[in-house]
């Protein structure tokens, strides 16, 4: 019964961390509340696109609604290009033009003559589509690594044997972060690794640091104070994995016309 409760607790914590990371990341759609004729409607504006024009959709507005989208390449100081939304399939639609892999656009919308997100325009980054055969195993192994790490911590706190779970955590983290992770990065943007020492990608860097913490914990498994190292490794993993996913990742430089990492 206790084992079931421990696993349930580990699942709840892991799901909460995963949802938090997803919703705070720079690729999660931006929710904007639009007011028109005394009524409020919430729209989702995309912050991630693949290699085709990204269609921005506004739902739930009257057929006489006038709306525009204003965009420019990011980071640049170019003037914004304005495009009118048009009615298609019973909804307002406007297209953001596809950009090179890693390329970004900065945009905001106008509905009923009122601007939304104009002071802090939304940034959307374009990438290649990642095959499910690569992406799904990456997600499962990374989720599994976090889940088993949390369970390992619970075993430490409750003074149970944890060495087996520590080894499984290291295995899952290695496969998810250093086998499927580079495959996803390569499929989406081209480079295999954009963390230290090649770039500033926080996703790669936090995976590397977390893995090193667990390797040290595994190497010192026979040390009498190892449980403290394991606890520190798990807490560090939880802390770094709350950092938004994909932050400071690959970014196309429109000046040099080369792919680098965000500054």
The pLDDT > 90 percentage for the chain reads: 67
The pLDDT > 70 percentage for the chain reads: 97
Question: In what order do the strands lie in the sheet containing 54-58?
Answer: 54-58, 91-96, 86-88
How far is the C-alpha of 209 from the C-alpha of 205, rounded, in Å?
Answer: 6
How far is the C-alpha of 121 from the C-alpha of 109, rounded, in Å?
Answer: 9
Look at phi and psi of residue 11 and say left if phi exceeds 0, alpha if psi is from -120 to 50, else beta.
alpha
Q: What is the pTM of this model?
A: 0.86
Contacts of 261 (CB under 8 A, 6+ apart): 194, 199, 200, 201, 248, 249, 250, 251
Helix axes 202-219, 226-240, angle to 10 degrees: 170
How far is the C-alpha of 49 from the C-alpha of 45, rounded, in Å?
Answer: 11
Phi/psi of residue 194, each to 5°?
A: -125, 20
Q: What is the pLDDT of residue 252?
A: 87
pLDDT at 246 over 80: no
Residue 89: pLDDT band (50, 70, 90) is: confident
How far is the C-alpha of 206 from the C-alpha of 192, rounded, in Å?
Answer: 16
pLDDT at 198 over 90: no
Contacts of 156 (CB under 8 A, 6+ apart): 162, 227, 230, 231, 234
pLDDT digits (tens, 9 = 90+) for 205-215: 889 999 999 99
200-225 average pLDDT score: 90
Q: What is the pLDDT of residue 242?
A: 78
pLDDT digits (tens, 9 = 90+) for 130-146: 999 999 999 999 999 99
SS (H, E, C) 59-74: CCCCCCCCEEEEEEEE
How far is the C-alpha of 94 from the C-alpha of 73, rounded, in Å?
Answer: 17
68-97 average pLDDT score: 94
203 vs 7: which has the higher pLDDT: 7
């Amino acid at each position: 019964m206790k084992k079931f409760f421990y696993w349930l607790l580990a699942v709840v914590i892991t799901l909460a961390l995963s949802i938090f990371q997803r919703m705070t990341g720079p690729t999660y759609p931006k929710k904007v509340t639009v007011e028109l004729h005394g009524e409020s409607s919430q729209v989702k504006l995309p912050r991630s696109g693949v290699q085709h024009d990204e269609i921005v959709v506004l739902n739930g507005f009257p057929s006489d609604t006038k709306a525009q989208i204003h965009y420019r390449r990011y980071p640049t100081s170019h003037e914004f290009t304005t495009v009118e939304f048009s009615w298609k399939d019973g909804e307002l639609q406007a297209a953001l033009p596809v950009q090179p892999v890693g390329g970004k656009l900065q945009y905001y919308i106008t509905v009923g003559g009122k601007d939304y997100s104009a002071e802090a325009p939304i940034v959307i980054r374009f990438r290649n589509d990642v095959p499910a055969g690569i992406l799904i195993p990456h997600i499962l192994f990374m989720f599994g690594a976090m889940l088993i790490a949390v369970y390992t911590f619970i075993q430490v706190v409750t003074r149970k044997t944890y060495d087996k779970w520590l080894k499984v955590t290291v295995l899952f983290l290695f496969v998810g972060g250093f086998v499927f992770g580079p495959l996803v990065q390569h499929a989406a943007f081209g480079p295999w690794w954009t963390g230290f020492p090649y770039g500033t990608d926080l996703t790669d860097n936090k995976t590397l640091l977390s893995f090193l913490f667990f390797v040290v914990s595994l190497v010192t498994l026979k040390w009498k104070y190892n449980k403290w190292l394991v606890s520190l490794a798990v807490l560090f993993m939880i802390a770094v994995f709350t950092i938004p996913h994909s932050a400071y990742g690959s970014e196309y430089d429109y000046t040099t016309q080369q792919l680098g990492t965000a500054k």
